[in-house]
Structure 1
Amino acid sequence: MTSTETTGRIQREAWPLREPGDLDPLLDEVGSARVVMVGEASHGTSEFYRWRAELTRRLVAEKGFSFVAVEGDWPDCHTVHRSVVGAAGAPEDPREALNAFARWPTWMWANEEVVEFARWLRAHNRGLARQDRVGFHGLDVYNLWDSLRAVLAYVAEHEPDHLPAAREALRCFEPYGESPQSYALASRMVPESCEAEVVALLRDVRAARGGSQSDAGALEERFIAEQNAEVAAGAERYYRAMVSGGAES
């Protein structure tokens, strides 16, 4: 297909976005899908962010989607999640939670468009039963150290038998000064890594059953700890692969 043919096809099949109703064809395409992946052509572009937020609002309100998963770190996004679901002690204004994002690029989520969407989501959730409130979660695995500290805090309070594994995992990474690049390069130069430590930690957290299994609060805390352990294991694997030069990188 020539560039002229490609341009002509785009002109025939594209439709302008001027108002929320212009998204109707996309909502029709979604149908009964349980997962919808929404992207943007560039990070930080206000117009993309506004339309992404509008589409997500409609997916939540009209299609009943139960959570929003974003390209952000789990620990940071969990603070936003607690705000939008109205958790006890969480910021009443999601802006406060978003302003706490500390890892570059903070502007990907700490921006006016996401603040507006998060405020809408909090208002939407206010009319729902707690178990039906729509969450906001991060999928990225870059925030290794915050996730390790979160797991350490959880096991210290709920599963002290697993403290040695948590401390050993954190201790293994200490020489690298919270620098993923330093850890990645070191793991390439010497045949040693922290893989065994984080895998052991993940195994322990998965296997343990601390707290009441009928207590919604306890179950949520356990879920959060497991996700942070998953992040730690995934981040360690990612940083090693990053410098390997092979297909995994």
Structure 2
Amino acid sequence: MGTLTENLVFARGAKPLIKAIKKYAKPFETVADLEPLIAAIGDAKIVLLGESSHGTSEFYTLRAELSKRLIKEKGFSFIAVEGDWPSCQSINRYIKEFNQSPHDVKEVLEDFNRWPTWMWANQEIIGLIDWLKEYNQHNTRAQKVGFYGLDVYSLWESMDEIIRYLEKTNSPSLKEAKKAFSCFEPFNRNHESYAVSAGYLSKDCTKDALDLLASIRKNKWKFDDDQESSLNMEVNAIVTANAEEYYRTMVNSDSKSWNVRDQHMVEALNSVRRFYGDDAKVIIWEHNTHVGDARATDMKDEGMVNVGQLVREKNGAENVFIVGFGTYSGTVIASTEWGVDFQIMKVPPAQFGSWESLMHKTGAVNKYLLFTDQNRHEFTTTIGHRAIGVVYRPEYEHFGNYVPSSMGHRYDGFIFFDQTNALHPLVLENILV
């Protein structure tokens, strides 16, 4: 990721970018002002909506409004997010009113008890969830919109889901599930312990996890689909297999484990798409680092891929529309270290020479850009593009929070908030790290 020195270098080529931003950027206040962006999405089957932090209120709120428009006006089938599959299934069951689903949305969000809980257990998401539930009440079962998590971290929770269902149904896959569970059990639900054992000592559960996935896929047609059991079991088994690989590789290679994670998210996405059928249309909510095409960043030099790149390559750029989000300054929810309590932090003004600083320089207002075949060439200069994670130290931002990017190739559109505010998290007990 870019340093302050690199951003100063980028700034020397900023004049053409400033000119292009002034020419093409349009101000907006509400989602109604984004009609040209919605029109530009056209018939794309996959729309990716990014964020430059996991703790900014405006990103969640506007993505929710855009998602509602896409669902109502363009018939999108489901939302897939950077969240754990089992926790997001609680939302999916709630909005589809499956049996034994809680009746209160805040009770549903209590299932997001893995740190960083604020990513989905927040006030901003509640309005979208309730809207989805009400929307689904006016549609047939086949037309109901879903909500799914694509991430890889829920190894233990996914195995719990598998064992619980297979025991209840006395499934032929129960033997493989219990064998996999017994292999992981000595690590006491601690992924770091498993990572050390598998990565350094070569004591792993790879074969058991893959055998479980193969068995689930072989027998999934036997599972009751009234409440999407076949899909639920398949993706939980995919999580088990890919999480095993992710934790096994993370101790030796950041780039390889990154690729395992993003390839997993695409594999999980494809399973949901197959479940919905050939005409399925999906909205994806993830961080810019996952949705913005990695080939247009320095990630490419490290051999890293991401969701945006993979879905463009697989489905054709004409069927995919990627929207990045960013901000110049404000406040954000984040933590200073992994697993510690969140804070409301100040987001300092974007670094001189960065993409966000140029967007601000051309007018301190909210604005959006569309990158088209006619103007992409005007946005090919490599420039630092801010990325804030769940762990954030504003005072050290110049050491690595800017990703060198060719913005016109990384995205199809970009939404910029000049000033943003921190997300409003729900306070949960019994948080897992």
CA contact (8 A) 2:162 2:177 kept: yes
> Equivalent residue for 2:108?
97
| Residue 77 of structure 2 is aligned to residue 69 of structure 1 | no
User: Which of 150, 155, 167 is matched with 1:156 structurally?
Assistant: 167
CA distance, structure 1, for counterparts of residue 195 and residue 48 of structure 2? 30
| In the alignment, structure 1 residue 141 sits paired with structure 2 residue 152 | yes
What are the superposed Cα offsets for residues 48-92 of structure 1, whole Å, 9 maximum, x if unpaired? 111111111111111100100000000000000011112222123
2:192 maps to a residue whose letter is: Q
Partner of 1:88: 99
Q: CA RMSD in A?
A: 1.8
The answer on whether the counterparts of 2:220 and 2:234 sit within 8 Å (CA) in structure 1 is no
How far off is 1:167 after superposition? 1.1
Sort the Cα spacing of 1:245 and 1:65 in 2 relative to 1 into closer, same or farther, 3 A: same
Q: Distance in 2 between matches of 1:166 and 1:74?
A: 18
Residue 79 of structure 2 aligns to a residue whose secondary structure is strand
Q: 1:191 aligns with which of 202, 209, 219?
A: 202
- Verify: 1:226 aligned to 2:237, yes or no: no
1:210 to 1:156, Cα distance in 2 relative to 1, 3 A? farther
TM-score by length of 2: 0.54
Aligned residue-pair number = 246
Aligned partners of 1:21, 1:246: CA distance in 2, in Å? 41
Q: Which of 229, 234, 243 pairs up with 1:235?
A: 243
The higher-RCO structure (CA 8 Å, 6+ apart) is: 2
Partner SS for 1:41: coil
Contact 1:158 1:210 in 2 (8 A): no
Deviation at 1:130, TM superposition (A): 1.6
Range 159-168 or range 111-120, more displaced: 159-168
Is 142-151 or 237-246 further displaced after alignment?
237-246
Which amino acid letter does the alignment assign opposite residue 237 of structure 1? E
Aligned residues with identical type, % of pairs: 41
Instruction: Give the letter for the 1:244 counterpart.
Output: N
Contact 1:98 1:110 (8 Å CA) reproduced:
yes
Rounded Cα–Cα distance in structure 2 between residues aligned with 1:228 and 1:71: 15
Greater fraction strand:
2
Distance between the aligned counterparts of 1:157 and 1:69, measured in 2?
28
Please give the secondary structure, in 1, of the residue aligned with 2:80: strand
* Alpha-carbon distance in structure 2 between the residues aligned to 1:180 and 1:230: 17
- Partners of 2:208 and 2:160 lie apart in 1 by 14
- Structure 1 residue 240, shift from structure 2 partner: 1.3
* Structure 1 range deviating more: 26-35 or 157-166: 157-166
Question: Is 1:79 matched up with 2:87?
Answer: no
Q: Is the 8 A contact 2:220 2:233 kept in 1?
A: no
Q: Name stretches of at least 5 consecutive residues in structure 1 with no aligned partner.
A: none
109-118 or 184-193: bigger deviation? 184-193
Alpha-carbon distance in 2 for matches of 1:207, 1:93: 36
CA distance in 1, matches of 2:234, 2:52: 32
1:245: which partner in 2?
253
Contact 2:84 2:152 in 1 (8 A): yes
Name the CA distance, whole Å, in 1 between partners of 2:126 and 2:178. 36
State the Cα distance separating 1:231 from its structure 2 match.
0.9
Unaligned residue ranges in structure 2 (runs of 5+)? 1-11, 258-433
Q: How far off is 1:154 after superposition?
A: 1.8
TM, length-normalised to structure 1? 0.92
Out of 208, 216, 236, the position equivalent to 1:205 is: 216
SS at match of 1:21: helix
Q: Shift of residue 246 of structure 1?
A: 7.1
Q: Which amino acid aligns with 2:55?
A: G
Distance, in Å, in 2 between the alignment partners of 1:23 and 1:96 is 34
The answer to whether the aligner puts 1:217 opposite 2:263 as a matched pair is no
CA-CA distance at 1:131 after TM superposition:
1.6
Contact 2:163 2:177 in 1 (8 A): yes
Deviation at 1:136, TM superposition (A): 0.3
Could you report, residue by residue, the CA deviation over 1:94-120 in whole angstroms, capped at 9, with x for unpaired residues? 332113211011100111111111111
Q: Which moved more, 1:97-106 or 1:11-20?
A: 11-20
1:7 positional shift: 2.9
Deviation at 1:17, TM superposition (A): 2.6
* Bigger share in helix: 1
* SS at 1:68 equivalent: strand
CA distance 1:78–1:160, change in 2 (3 Å): same
What residue in structure 1 maps to residue 311 of structure 2?
A: none
